[in-house]
Chain A
Amino acid sequence: MQGRSRTFIWAVLAFVVIGVAFAIMQTSWWDSNDTVFIQAVVSGMLIGGVYGLVAMGLSLVFGVLDIINFAHGALMTIGIYASYLLFQNYGIDPYLSLLVTVPLLFVVGMGIQRFAINPVMTAPVHNQLLLTLGIAIMIENLLLVFFTGTPRSIELSYARGSFDLGFMTLDFPLRVFGAVVSMPKLIAFVMALVLALVLYILIQRTWLGAAIRASAQQPEGAELVGIDNRRIYIITFGIGAAAAGAAGGLVMPFLFVSPTAGATFTIIAFIVVVLGGMGSIPGAVVGGFIIGLTQELSQLFVSGSSKLLGVFVVFILVLLFRPQGLFGARQR
């Protein structure tokens, strides 16, 4: 394991050196493409923040329950629709409606764990995976039944205004070194970091967090000191679902709302979780940035390829050389 970690670090270093050399050699390319490059970096960071947010809840569930939750994206879609409906029908601001969607998803998540997943906690991997897949199918198609498949979107009235902060004025969409930054994406980015901090404190600094970590590391030991593992699982899945709901509410303003809107994030979120190390909140954030940047930059350097190809290459390399992830403890 030791040798492999070192190999991995060398591989990353080699990758960076080659990248820098490539960039210097291509100075003429740089002169004509610097705006494109900066835009790719900025877009990558912004979308990476969202990926981190989606992955956090998934990482918690994966780390504590050891369940591959393929319904995570579908839970996010519930958050997206809740936020959309509150805005469309009652004019409630999407950022304010987080106060509704997050508790809603917390309850939904607890229900799913209590009635569907707790009974299969000791079942083989394929059954757990198929169960969460069944849940995802149900959620997505219920949304389809009620709201049809028509994609919808909203326009925030204040997304294209200017804000006076006293010492400076911000004009949205913002321009950073020539790159365009839309307001909803910036808010989602900042909120993702804030929520990561909240979740980190919850896990690391509270009694509940200690119980969750205990249950993840030593289920039998936790049971011995009076922790009810099944209850911890219910609460953990609730928190994971709530994080998905928050992510849904935050991406709703810049996404097409449809029953499969969240599903597109599921696979990326899994990649981020494995990259960051399962159960690790900082890992999810850093992993989100890496994947966001990989996605945008690989498209820039290898023209004509899909955004995701580079992401999958990184994923396979991580699985092979550092399966415990960047911030993960060694595998159990």
Chain B
Amino acid sequence: MTKIMTLVQASSRDLYILVGVVFVLALLPLGVSPFLLSVGTSVLIFALAGVGWNVLSGFAGQFSFGHAAYFGLGSYTVAILLTKYSISPWIGLIAGGFVAAIFGLLVGWVSFRFGLKGAYFALATFAVAEMLRLTFNSIDYFGAGIGITIPLVDGDDWARIQFSDTRALHYWFALGLLAVSIVAVIAIKRSRIGSYMFAVREDEDAASALGIDPLRTKLIAISISGFITALAGGYFTLFFLFIDPDVVFGPLVSVAILLRPIVGGVGTIWGPVVGAAILSLLGELTRTLVREPPAFLSFLEGANGLDQVLFGFILIVMIIRAPDGVLGWFRRKREKGTE
């Protein structure tokens, strides 16, 4: 009990921020259109996936380029359990997390045992995700290329986490999952295993000289990471009610998952959330700019793909100018200011 108290005290700042952020975000459904609320929910889902990615790649320093694997496993576990065995997604979400965690242990054990790191580990994770995509595409039990559709029910059904009349409940549910995961990540960061992860990230040889088992540390990181990302994948199924291998295992999912924490700040608690907020604002801004440009930019109107050009350009500038993410950029500004 005292242990928990010290943990709470040590991370009180992060917890205060969490309470504040959740409070503000929870009020959002009261004032925005249903469409924006859907956008908001999917932003929350990918922020959650990013929180998971951040544990392995940010905390433990093992760059994953294939987190779609865990996202997809979460999605499919929920979908299969619900449609084939009528098992509630409350259990499905947790089960998906465990499936992904065990799969992560397997992938991690093989690749870390063989000493894969850096770019090679990244390419291996990518290949694993692609293999899952191709495999699920050819197995009839998993709906093959057609995918799985979750049947609709009338009214709100808490057992199936399906809410028909209002999008707000979905939004709050996703927010709740995100908040719980962030609390877990704060606890990890402050705990012994978190310190081990940072040590392995900074210098593996030095860490093992101090008696830390790098393999064990990385395996714990990959399973926690997979678990959280699978929660996001599972909720994706419940929110969109349709999945197929390309939608949940595709390379673009892996990119979407890692983009947010990197833009926000790799290895920080709030990086994935800040990154998700910035990227979605940016996306909306560029889309609006192309849809209804101001007079002097009227030639931009309706040009297909232009928002993506802008997006790519901003991404490039951001990485060159703020290599440690938006949060890192602010920290450096502040340190300069106090000197």
List, in ascending order, chain B residues with CB within 8 A of A138's CB.
Answer: 308-309, 312-313, 316
**Interface hit among B33-41, B42-50, B121-129, B170-178:** B121-129
Q: Is the CB of B312 within 8 A of A134?
A: yes
**Majority secondary structure of chain A interface residues (helix, strand, loop or mixed):** helix
Chain B residues packing against A (C-beta within 8 Å): 57, 63, 65, 110-111, 114-116, 118-120, 122-124, 126-128, 130-131, 134-135, 137-138, 251, 255, 258-259, 262, 266, 303-306, 308-309, 311-313, 315-316, 319-320, 323
Q: Separation in Å of the A9 CB from the closest CB of chain B?
A: 17
Task: Report the Cα distance A306→B134, complex, angstroms.
Answer: 7
Are A145 and B128 in contact (CB-based, < 8 A)?
Answer: no
A54 contacts the other chain (CB 8 A): no
Establish whether residues B130 and A312, one from each chain, have CB atoms under 8 Å apart when the complex forms: yes
Q: How many A-B contacts if CB must be within 8 Å?
A: 127
A-B contact pairs, 24 of them (CB 8 A): A66-B119, A120-B319, A123-B319, A124-B63, A124-B266, A125-B63, A125-B119, A126-B258, A126-B262, A126-B266, A130-B259, A131-B319, A133-B315, A138-B313, A138-B316, A140-B305, A141-B312, A145-B304, A149-B304, A306-B134, A306-B137, A309-B138, A316-B127, A319-B114
Evaluate contact between A125 and B320: CB separation under 8 angstroms: no
A residues within 8 A CB of B124?
316, 319
Known: A145-B309, A149-B305; 7 extra A-B contacts, CB below 8 A, are A127-B319, A129-B63, A138-B309, A141-B308, A144-B308, A305-B134, A320-B110
Contact with B116, one of A62, A141, A144, A319 (Cβ below 8 angstroms): A319
The answer to whether A308 and B130 touch across the interface, beta carbons within 8 angstroms, is: yes
State whether the Cβ of A68 lies closer than 8 Å to any Cβ in chain B.
Answer: yes
Render A134-171 as a binary contact track against B, CB cut-off 8 A, 1 for contact: 11111011101100110000000000000000000000
Q: Which residues of B contact A116 (CB under 8 A)?
A: 316, 320
A304 on the B face (CB < 8 A): yes
Report chain B residues within 8 Å CB of A135.
312, 316
A145 contacts B319, C-beta separation under 8 Å: no
A 106-133 binary contact with B (CB < 8 Å = 1; else 0): 0000000000100110011111011101
Contacts of B259 on A, CB cut-off 8 Å? 130
Q: Is A233 an interface residue (CB 8 A)?
A: no
Q: Are A316 and B319 CB-contacts (below 8 A) given A126-B266, A141-B312, A306-B138?
A: no
Chain B residues whose CB sits within 8 angstroms of the CB of A315 once the complex forms = 123, 127
Query: How far, in Å, is B89 (CB) from chain A's closest CB?
Result: 30
* Chain A minimum-CB-distance residue to B322: A127
Name which residue of chain A comes closest to B290, CB basis: A145
Q: Mark A294-311, 1 if CB is under 8 A from B, else 0.
A: 000000000011101100
- The distance from the CB of A97 to the nearest CB of chain B, in whole angstroms, is 25
Contacts of B305 in A (CB 8 A): 140-142, 144-145, 149, 259
Are B135 and A309 in touch, CB under 8 angstroms? Answer: yes
The reply to whether the CB of A210 lies closer than 8 angstroms to some CB of chain B is no
Q: Which of A196-211 contact B (CB under 8 A)?
A: none
Look across to chain A and name the residue whose beta carbon is closest to the beta carbon of B58: A126
What separation, in Å, do the CA atoms of A312 and B66 have in the docked complex? Answer: 13
A109 CB to nearest B CB, Å: 15
The minimal Cβ–Cβ distance linking B311 to chain A, given in whole angstroms, is 7
CB-defined contacts of A140 to chain B, threshold 8 Å: 305, 308
- Which chain A residues border B320 with CB–CB below 8 Å? 116, 119-120, 131
Known: A145-B309, A320-B111. A304 touches B138 (CB 8 A): yes
